[in-house]
Structure 1
């Protein structure tokens, strides 16, 4: 069972992000450290991902009137490839529906294996640049067509 609780240790969350993202930072010459990550993320909705009572990751969201921005989803490497990300993304859909937004948007490195997961769950690429896919999940597709 997945629970999303308000994160209390944002430093640990920043360190998890650094560990998980370091290969991408190196590939693209980005010089981030955990302090930079903490500064960039402390104003977001930071939710600790709890699996069967154990903290396994961090989810970061922000909202506008029409958009839920999935800013970050980091899962501890010991729990990756076990369906946790999918469960969290399904929870995000519920959170976004309750917030009455029209879209969930995210940015993901093109080389990230998470692209396949997002696509399987209904996210589509809206734009891209040399590094990123800018993806969107749209509610009520039939109503807007």
Structure 2
């Protein structure tokens, strides 16, 4: 299945899809932690990020959103539609992001995940380590500063 996935850069026309899939996938976590979902805040953040769509056989099945600084490449969003979860799309996407981070010579890959989001198990399988936490989130990182054999 993983060989069937492809990436394409998102365009402003993809904003609605990315907002809807993110809200659909994340709303239960926002409710659990008594946080407020705001479309306007999502749209503003999305506009300043590097956004990529995940496609499978010509259909968009998810996306990821990245930002960068000198310390790391940051996964700001990684969303896969429910029908494609647990079919390798998320794992494949992380592999693509790791390759981007290595190509850009970033020292680390970082993300934040809700504490009760089972996606953290995927991130752990991809060798990401919890670096910190607060009442809602885990901060995870994959360090590239040491050589991997």
Is 1:3 the counterpart of 2:6? The answer is yes
Q: 4+ residue stretches of structure 1 with deviation over 4 A?
A: none
Matching residue of 1:18: 23
1:35 correspondence with 2:14:
no
- How many residues were matched structurally? 143
Contact 1:126/1:135 (<8 A) preserved: yes
- Superposed counterparts of 1:1-145, under 5 Å: 1-8=4-11, 9-142=14-147
Residue by residue over 1:65-124, the C-alpha shift from the partner in whole angstroms, topping out at 9 and shown as x without a partner, is 231001110001111111110011011100111111010000000100011110011000
Contact preservation (8 Å) 1:18, 1:33: no
Please report the RMSD computed on the Cα atoms of aligned residues, expressed in angstroms.
1.4
CA distance in 2, matches of 1:119, 1:137: 9
Stretches of structure 2 lacking an aligned partner (at least 5 in a row): none
Q: Which runs of 5+ in 1 are unaligned?
A: none
